[in-house]
Amino acid sequence: MIDAAGLRVMKAIADEGSFTSAANALGFTQPAISQMVRRLEQRTGTVLVERYGRQVRLTEAGQVLARHAVGVLAALDAAEEEITAIAGLRAGRVRLQAFPSSSATLVPKALAILRSRHPDITMTFTEAEPPQSLAALRAGDCDVAVIFANKDVDAGELEEDLSLLVTRHLLDDELRLATQKNHPLAQTGTATLSDFASEDWIAGCPRCRAHLVGLAEKAGFRPTVSFEIEDYVAQLGLVTAGLGVALVPDIILNAAKHDDVATLSLSPVSQRQILAVTTPDLLRVPAVAAAMDALCAAAGADPAASPAELAAAPA
């Protein structure tokens, strides 16, 4: 009912004492000021200005508007300054959620790149597996989610629909079989899962365990999962102790090396995609776009949006 322009007019009339002076102060014509006052009186349903020849006086209702205009306009000016800072990447906040193994290498590098490029952007980070981070993204509790999706299973394995989201392919992360270095097959370089069908297995998060079981069943056996632990460094410790074998992604093997662990490529190769995900609306926020670019830079990926994503983004 009451807009900022009307409040500015009421404050100017109170300060200047006439329509003409108020018009000069605001850069309007006198008829335009008169029209804006009439429109505001129609919206409020009461008289706001009493006219005495060339002079005017605010009614009690007009004085209320003029008094509140000071605080309201100051708040609007402050909001405009903050928005200008955010749009110019001189401020802003990005909330990132990412699955745990990415926090060992990819996420710290991306955070460092973002800080070096835009030091005034605040970025917060929370670990979360893909189902939780995508739920948080859709609920408005995070701005960017870093997730993984296995490539060698059915497309429905991810369980979530990403069609209405914006995704950036960061990298393909190969899964390798980790075994104790003195294992008879440790020096073969490449192995099939069925070569280790009789071994005790060490599995990670629920999605990782389901993936392991799915791959093993395709290879013709049901794995004996003796240890369930989500920390890959701890998994490698169990492998070093000769307590079992595990599937470990390159993103971890590149960050945590064990001299007593041998890693073998799988035949057929098993890979997972690592993706950065946000919404079309959030991608239009400069700080979020900068965070997506930083993740791409950290992974050595192309940050450009696809034509389909650009077409889907609201104008």
Mean pLDDT of the chain: 86
What local confidence, expressed as pLDDT, does residue 1 receive? 74
Q: How far is CA 73 from CA 78, 125, 251, in A?
A: 9, 35, 52
Binned at pLDDT 50, 70 and 90, residue 153 comes out as: low
Third-level CATH fold of 4-85:
Arc Repressor Mutant, subunit A (1.10.10)
What local confidence, expressed as pLDDT, does residue 201 receive? 95
Q: Is 36 a residue whose pLDDT tops 80?
A: yes
Binned at pLDDT 50, 70 and 90, residue 314 comes out as: very low
How many Cα atoms sit within 13 Å of 123 on the Cβ side? 30
pTM above the 0.75 mark?
Answer: no
What local confidence, expressed as pLDDT, does residue 196 receive? 94
Q: Is 302 a residue whose pLDDT tops 90?
A: no
Residues facing residue 273 across a β-bridge? 149, 172
Determine what percent of the chain is predicted with pLDDT higher than 90.
Answer: 52
How many residues are given for the chain?
315
Determine what percent of the chain is predicted with pLDDT higher than 70.
Answer: 92
Domain 92-303 architecture: 3-Layer(aba) Sandwich (3.40)
Domain ranges for the chain, please list them: 4-85, 92-303
Beta-carbon contacts of residue 8 (< 8 Å; ≥ 6 apart): 26, 69, 73
What local confidence, expressed as pLDDT, does residue 104 receive? 80
Is residue 295 within 8 Å of 125, Cβ to Cβ? no
